[in-house]
């Protein structure tokens, strides 16, 4: 099969190669990949027991080809989308992948195609966990999102609005109309040296909660929080709490499987929008990886396989 691989341990490049279809064991599914969600982490999330050449990637959507003898609840022909991280046999940037049946696997509802489905599991899983940590319940409140026009922010704005939260978000000026279209009530440009003051003019009492998506955005965003507010850093910023602010990273482990399935249903029913900035033919995977590594993607970049 075709796959984008790290050819050998420590190799600095990802290459398109011909490799064997993985053999599944009793607890695994073999999935024929139809679309791949591209993430900045894809070229370096590698298990210590990887077999080389190692197909990269942790997120995909496709059709179950075969089930291991011990697997219950899945059948060949099922359409699924999933996160399959750190699997020794390889990841999702391939025509076939072996997926442990305990992975985060969600059936794809009617009304969603493979590229849309492949764009959801990592971003959806991440923001649903982050919102649990923030206790972003349907009671309403105010939320600031730093770095909001990417895959995570696109979902975050819409989910928060559906839970009755008021949202202000940051991105470059050309993306402001996009953020407002998703439900943000104001958008600020993080390039402006006075962006924190601008936001505080709009929300003088500060925010109940912050999601800091991009690395390095937490400390300035902290200035926007009310005393005893809550902040989640998606990219693992190191932080020192002040003013009783409750801080965390994305909490693991936590089961958001049902919420993720509901998210896909909401997307299928047109209640939520998934932004695909670009869908690439599989062979152009390295162009997609280069784009997401700029940290300037709008929504998600996805590879499509026939």
Ligand X SMILES: NC(=O)c1ccc[n+]([C@@H]2O[C@H](COP(=O)([O-])OP(=O)(O)OC[C@H]3O[C@@H](n4cnc5c(N)ncnc54)[C@H](OP(=O)(O)O)[C@@H]3O)[C@@H](O)[C@H]2O)c1
Give residues in contact with ligand X (CB under 6 A): 40-41, 122, 126, 146-153, 170-172, 175, 190, 213-215, 217, 234-235, 250, 292, 295-297
Least distance CB 182 / ligand X (angstroms)? 11
Output 158 or 217, the one with its CB closest to ligand X.
217
Output 7 or 215, the one with its CB closest to ligand X.
215
**Helix 121-134 crosses helix 257-268 at what angle (to 10 degrees)?**
120
Residues 6+ apart with CB under 8 A from 146: 169, 170, 190, 210, 211, 212, 213, 214, 217, 218, 220, 221
DSSP 3-state of 246: strand
Least distance CB 118 / ligand X (angstroms)? 14
Contact 296, 173 (CB under 8 A): no
Least distance CB 87 / ligand X (angstroms)? 17
Least distance CB 37 / ligand X (angstroms)? 10
Output 70 or 251, the one with its CB closest to ligand X.
251
What sign for the dihedral angle of Cα 284, 285, 291, 297? positive
Element (H, E) at 29: strand 28-37
Output 62 or 147, the one with its CB closest to ligand X.
147
Distance CA 257, CA 252 (A): 13
Distance CA 198, CA 195 (A): 5
Least distance CB 135 / ligand X (angstroms)? 18
Least distance CB 211 / ligand X (angstroms)? 10
Output 66 or 220, the one with its CB closest to ligand X.
220
Distance CA 35, CA 233 (A): 28
Least distance CB 71 / ligand X (angstroms)? 26
Output 23 or 296, the one with its CB closest to ligand X.
296
DSSP 3-state of 190: coil
Q: Which two tokens stand for residue 226?
A: 């009310």
Output 93 or 96, the one with its CB closest to ligand X.
93
Distance CA 227, CA 54 (A): 47
What sign for the dihedral angle of Cα 267, 143, 126, 4? positive
Residue 222, judged by CB atoms within 10 A of its CB (0-12, 13-18, 19+), counts as buried
Least distance CB 152 / ligand X (angstroms)? 3
Output 162 or 296, the one with its CB closest to ligand X.
296
């Amino acid at each position: 099969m075709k796959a984008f691989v790290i050819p050998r341990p420590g190799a600095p490049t990802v290459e398109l190669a011909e490799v064997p279809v993985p053999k599944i064991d009793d607890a695994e599914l073999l999935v024929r990949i139809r679309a791949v969600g591209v993430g900045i982490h894809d070229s370096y999330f590698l298990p210590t027991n990887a077999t080389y050449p190692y197909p990269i990637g942790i997120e995909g959507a496709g059709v179950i080809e075969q089930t291991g003898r011990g697997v219950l609840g899945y059948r060949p022909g099922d359409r699924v989308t999933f996160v399959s991280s750190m699997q020794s046999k390889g990841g999702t940037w391939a025509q076939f992948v072996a997926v442990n049946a305990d992975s985060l696997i969600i059936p794809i509802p009617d009304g969603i195609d493979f590229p849309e489905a492949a764009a959801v599991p990592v971003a959806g899983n991440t923001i649903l966990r982050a919102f649990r940590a923030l206790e972003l319940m349907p009671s309403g409140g105010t939320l600031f999102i730093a770095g909001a026009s990417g895959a995570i922010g696109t979902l975050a704005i819409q989910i928060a609005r559906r839970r009755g939260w008021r949202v202000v978000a940051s991105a470059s000026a050309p993306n402001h109309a996009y953020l407002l279209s998703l439900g943000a009530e104001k958008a600020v440009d993080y390039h402006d040296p006075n962006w924190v003051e601008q936001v505080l003019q709009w929300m003088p009492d500060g925010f109940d909660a912050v999601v800091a998506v991009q690395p390095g955005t937490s400390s300035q965003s902290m200035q926007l929080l009310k005393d005893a507010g809550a902040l989640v850093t998606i990219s693992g910023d190191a932080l020192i709490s002040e003013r009783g602010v409750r801080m965390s990273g994305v909490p693991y482990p936590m089961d958001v499987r049902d919420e993720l399935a509901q998210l896909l249903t909401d997307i299928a029913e047109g209640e939520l929008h998934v932004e695909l900035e670009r869908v690439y033919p599989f062979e152009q995977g390295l162009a997609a990886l280069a784009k997401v590594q700029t940290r300037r993607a709008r929504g998600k970049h996805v590879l499509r396989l026939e």
